[in-house]
Structure 1
Amino acid sequence: MRKYETLFILEPSLDEEAVKAGVEKFKGVIENGGGTVDNVDAWGKRKLAYEIKKVNEGYYTLINFTADTELPKELDRVFRITDGVIRHLIIREEE
């Protein structure tokens, strides 16, 4: 089991309930894949450093989790097919 963190940005046009549902969806993917969620840090709506798809704001969320090496691949796949995700990043934390 390794420690990972993922940061993802959701579209600003989503309402508060849709943002919470998105975060719960990604937490569910981690927990159903055999991982454990260590921390969820919702940063809220922030301005992007540069415009992406004609959008300059987004809802930022950081999730720290522990999982085996296959789970980040599945999480990446789910991020890519989920509508409303502008950008995402999954990194392994240093030991």
Structure 2
Amino acid sequence: MVKKYEMVILIDPQIGDSQVETTIQGYKQRLEEAGAEVLHVDQWGLRKLAYSSPALQGRQQAFYTLFQFSGDPALIQPLEAVMKLDESVLRYLFLSVDGEFLRVPQLAPENIYIFNPPERPRDRRGPRRDRDEGRDEGREGRSDRPPASHENGDSDAEPVAAVATATDDADAGGDGESEE
């Protein structure tokens, strides 16, 4: 009985790019020799691992590769035994697929900005809609907000420096220690 499978392997990046390619081709060849029909091999490249584990020996990245194949269920166990002994394979996963394989389309160069938008320089001194437009709208008659300052810096409120000076003058009569 032929079933459809997906196999994801995480390959150690410390073995080098040429050895990664050799490992991928080696597993593709093993699948074909075992009688599987390899329908698709998708190399996702070097990616950050989602978690750390003592078994990963402190590694934070791996080369991800997805194999989509159909074959006899009996070929999974021997292939899994080989992967357990292969030090270049950090993790692997076999999934049985019911129905059709899903294909993730490759990212088109013209659409790359959707996933990696270019950084826009921010002018921190330029006009901002939330700051500059309609600032005084709706403030008249509201007691929960201080009055808006005018463009020349004048305000209906008493300046902070004048309040601080008046407080300092009141405290000037004593040196902070009470006399009894």
Aligned to 1:66: 70
Q: Does 1:29 align with 2:33?
A: no
Task: Tell me the residue number matched to 2:94.
Answer: 90
Structure 2: gaps (5+ residues): 100-180
Structure with more strand by fraction: 1
Structure of higher RCO (CA pairs closer than 8 Å, 6+ residues apart): 1
The CA deviation string for residues 56-87 of structure 1, in whole angstroms up to 9 with x for no partner, is 10000000001001011111111111121110
Deviation at 1:92?
0.6
Which residue type is aligned with residue 35 of structure 1? Answer: A
CA distance in 2 between counterparts of 1:38 and 1:61 reads 14
Question: Does 1:48 find its partner at 2:52?
Answer: no
Residue correspondences, number: 95
Question: Once superposed, which parts of structure 1, at least 4 consecutive aligned residues long, lie more than 6 Å away?
Answer: none
Give, in angstroms, the shift of residue 46 of structure 1: 0.3
Asked if the contact 2:13/2:20 (under 8 Å) is kept, the reply is no
TM-score by length of 1: 0.95
Runs of 5+ consecutive residues of structure 1 not aligned to the other structure: none
- TM-score computed with the length of structure 2 as normaliser: 0.51
Matches of 2:65 and 2:15, distance apart in 1: 14
CA distance in 2, matches of 1:94, 1:9: 23
Q: State the identity as a percent.
A: 31
Q: Aligned Cα RMSD in Å?
A: 0.9
- Return the letter of the residue paired with 1:94: D
Q: Which amino acid aligns with 2:49?
A: L
